């Protein structure tokens, strides 16, 4: 894996580990994450520090993948999918603005070959099983 950093009007990519053949479209915000070989990252996607995306995945446009999300190989993520990592989000603790020390993120795992449909909101602390898909 190579470490990629790009700062342009169309891409903000900082300290991202990328595999061979990764395709990243414009208007993305990627930082401190890891993306496996041959994965495609669509337009207007954000992937945060500590998140991992496996090999040969497709992450469609307008998707948000936060810290603590781990996506295995060959996963499809539809347009506008939002992952969460905090079961009890708050702006303040005891009247003061929260800091990273005030909360603990909950990991989410998406297993190999799963398919997540457009517009899904994935709550934290769950596991989506291998090969899982929406009912037809």
Contacts of 29 (CB under 8 A, 6+ apart): 12, 45, 46, 47
52, 87 Cβ separation under 8 angstroms: no
pLDDT (0 to 100) of residue 67: 96
Percentage above 90 pLDDT, the chain: 76
> For residues 106 and 63, what is the distance between their CA atoms, to the nearest angstrom?
19
What's the whole-model pTM score? 0.92
pLDDT (0 to 100) of residue 136: 63
Confidence of residue 60 (pLDDT cuts 50, 70, 90): very high
Domains of the chain: residue spans and CATH: 2-86+104-128 (2.160.10.10)
Confidence of residue 96 (pLDDT cuts 50, 70, 90): very high
pLDDT (0 to 100) of residue 80: 98
> For residues 22 and 41, what is the distance between their CA atoms, to the nearest angstrom?
8
Tens of pLDDT, residue by residue over 18-56, are 999 999 999 999 999 999 999 999 999 999 999 999 999
């Amino acid at each position: 894996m190579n470490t990629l950093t790009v700062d342009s009007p169309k891409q903000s990519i900082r300290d991202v580990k990328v595999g061979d053949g990764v395709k990243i479209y414009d208007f993305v915000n990627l930082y401190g994450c890891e993306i496996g070989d041959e994965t495609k990252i669509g337009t207007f996607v954000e992937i945060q520090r500590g998140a991992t995306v496996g090999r040969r995945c497709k992450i469609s446009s307008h998707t948000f993948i936060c810290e603590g999300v781990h996506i295995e190989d060959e996963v499809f993520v539809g347009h506008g999918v939002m992952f969460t990592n905090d079961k009890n989000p708050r702006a303040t603790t005891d009247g003061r603005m929260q800091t990273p020390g005030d909360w603990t993120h909950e990991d989410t795992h998406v297993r190999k070959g799963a398919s997540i449909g457009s517009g899904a909101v994935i709550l934290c602390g769950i596991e989506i099983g291998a090969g899982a898909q929406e009912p037809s």
